[in-house]
A and B are shown apart, each in its own frame.
Chain A
Amino acid sequence: MAEVKKKRLADYGLKSERVLWRGKGPGVFEREIEPIEDRLLLTTVQKAVAWAQSKSVWPDTFGLACCAIEMMSIVSSRYDIARFGMERFSSSPRQADLLIVSGRVVHKMAAPLRQVYDQMLEPKWVIAMGACASSGGMFNNYTVLQGVDKIVPVDIHVPGCPPRPEALMEGIIRLHEKIQAGVPPAYEIRGVAS
């Protein structure tokens, strides 16, 4: 087995008296943590927070129409969403991170939708699930909002009519990847009110 040089804390940039006194060897602190150095993980605070956020995104129950039935089926045991820490669907938008707009949004419902979105606390994400939420779907008429991104900033659009639970999972996992990569939520990118 090749000898892999283990990374020391100093290699990560942790500097102590060395800044002031070049040529000095490892200090007391460094000698004490030497045995556990290979078990420590160093990262930036932002990355840690993003990791934590993506692992427990709590959705809000905003089921409107047919897509809501498929959204309920990802909670069920076959397409278990609890594996991603998302089984706690909160009815109160104050306690929710993610708004999955599942179903067609009509003009009468646009105001409640915006109110629910406004009540959510930052950071918050929106998934437009299905064709109707993304673009109005097959209903290009006087009453259906042609895409929910006219009133709320959307992070992920999931196509389908209705999207299979696996398709919604794909959307959710991509959202997790986005969050972990540090991509800001859609309201920041678009510069709109949140």
Chain B
Amino acid sequence: MPGFDDVPGLLEVKEGHGETTAVVETTRLPEAGFYLRDELGFNFLSDLTVTDYLGWGEKGVAGYWGHPSGRDLNHPGSWGLSRVPDPKPKRFSVSYHLLAIRRGAPRLRVQAWVDDGEPVPSVVEVWPTADWHEREQYDLMGIVFDGHPNLVRIIMDDDWEGHPLRKDYPIGGEPVRFSGEE
């Protein structure tokens, strides 16, 4: 795996579960994209995902309870410590999943962090397939991609208000009525 030290705007490189994540400064994403595509050979953009971390860590989720043979209720305290997940730097993370089509199939996740209202530069010039992915994330999450040639809604109705996949958007639907209910 070639080193990622020369990627423009690189902030940190994380490893986990067999994957490498490179966190990059938001404003330098297209530069980093060109470098990764031309110098390091990541010519295939698999996926572009925006994750909303509003409410992250508020519910006080415990760590991993128990051990492989089961929850041992006879020995309390052997369950692992309760932990709240680490807070994230900003509200939204934009993850680009890259693949280099060559032997070994190296994969890389490039991540950039933005707040609500902050625009993200578009990478359509680097990987044209990002066109619809960015439109979809604009539609569902409300992230504006600067420099995108056609940033309009793609999945929801053209006059839909709101961005459905945000955490403060309700799931919607109807309460289920049961027969025989008063």
Contact = CB atoms under 8 A, between A and B. Distances in A.
Interface of A: 107-108, 136, 139-144, 146
B71 to A, nearest CB: 30
B171 to A, nearest CB: 5
Interface of chain B: mostly helix, strand, loop or mixed:
loop
Interface of chain A: mostly helix, strand, loop or mixed:
loop
Nearest to A146: B174
Contact of A141 (B157, B171, B176): B171
A144 B164 CA distance: 13
Interface residues of B, number: 10
B172 A141 contact: yes
- Of the listed residues A139, A142, A143, the one surrounded by the most CB atoms of chain B closer than 10 A to its CB is A142
B162 to A, nearest CB: 9
Contact of A143 (B170, B172, B176): B172
B173 A108 contact: no
B178 interface: no
B42 to A, nearest CB: 34
B174 A142 contact: no
A142 B157 contact: no
B156 interface: yes
A134 to B, nearest CB: 13
A136 B157 contact: no
Contacts of B174: 136, 140, 146
A143 B173 CA distance: 8
